[in-house]
Structure 1
Amino acid sequence: MRLISYTYANVLKRVIVFIIIFLVNTAISYSQFFNKEIQAKILIERNSEFYTFHAAASNKTPTDYNLKYDYSVFRTDKDSNVVKTNQSDLFFLKGDEKKVLSSLTVNYSVDDKIILVLLIYDKDNKPIGKDRIVLEQGGKTNINLDKTTPKSASRDEAVAQDGYEIDGLVIQKTLTKSGRDFFRMFYSEYFNRQIRSPRNILIKEVPGRRRNTLITVEIEGRLVWQFFAQPRKEFLTNMVRISLQRVLSYINRLEQQNEQFIRY
């Protein structure tokens, strides 16, 4: 009798594990339809004690969206017991906006297998964005944060010899306190929203008319926004908002051009 109960428990455990894996794989199997307009991305941050995994959404279009996200974690211990936790909520994403939706941490000492799945749904509850990370050894998994997912080279941009691209830098060449304040506010928002540009972003300030200076935001020499500097915080905050929106729109166009080149 004990043997029968033990066997039944093991079979039931395996069936539950199979169902969970099947549901996860089914949800992410149609990748060709995902991340076209709304991109789901799990961003990884590391500090002295643990990894932080940020669930982020990026709007690759100028259109606003009402969306829903589901951020799930499947943790499997050495006895094949699976525990699922998830965070889910509605959110609004403006055109060309990138937003961090939720975050979770994994301590380096954890060695259970962990699967993180991020799904984004449109207003009709249709999945349109997805990302997935598998940590075979939990927090002990070796994650190289200096390298991103391999990408194909575009027409005018060669991939590095190791097969990976390096994120661009945000560079400043400012003259006045207003210029430095704008750069500080721009970079703070750029970093907090986990924006990644494949090319360098240059914030440059040059003498303008009368006593004013002209601040420009450029990506690889291409102007995306410019304005005459003013010291008022409200004005600089608005300029940061517009500049970031223009930068994100430009980055999205670069990605779309690259995808079209790869396709044809």
Structure 2
Amino acid sequence: MGYTAQGQIYNKDVAAKLDVEFNDEFINIIASGLNKTSIDKSLRYVITAFVLLEDGTTVKEDKEERFVLPAAEKKVLNSLTLPRRDLRRKIILLLIYDENDKIIGKDRVVFYGDDKKDPDLFSFEQDPNKNQQEAMDEPDGIVLRGLVIENTKTKPARDFYREYYANYLAKKVNSEFIITIDELLALGTNTKVEVKVGDALVWQFFVNPRSDYISDMADIALNRTIRYLQQQKRDQNTIRKY
């Protein structure tokens, strides 16, 4: 399978934004979208809260909804409330998808919760490998690393995601692209799973509930993911040389 390198440009036409407000007991996070164009947009948002537990595992909770964003307007999409005094590390991620289910807007806020004097500290993460100018050259100065987003509907597809992600963590893959695992309707009542790195489709297959088949697909998909990321890195190094 061939790959086409495609850069991920977010928040260009539609900007995702997470605003944070503090009071004595809670942290309020307001998610909004801004349509920068002169055309009404039919969109979908997903806001996800990741919480790192003491045993090192991560739990997540999603909220999603389709919405219409009028031209040149900003709309509040949803909100979350967190306890102010909570030492657990938390990540709040907002993604906005277009009518083709492509991510076009993103924002993220991280609550580190590891400062005993002030557990309320938070910041937006930037790629530590970029210098200040390179970070400023990004569309919004934010780089999401290591994220695997799941949009599955059936148990076999969820099993695939769990096995893929477990192997992803075990091999310490840290993609600077968002990886999405989508389950889509295919022929008849069948479904298929697509694995994308950024906008590039690296693997797809028809869902089959056999556990050995799911394991094989997870192995192949991760190998294709790693191969694609390695190719992207080689291409970037070649561009820098010239």
Normalising by structure 2, report the TM-score.
0.45
Structure index of larger Rg: 1
Higher helix share: 1
Normalising by structure 1, report the TM-score.
0.42
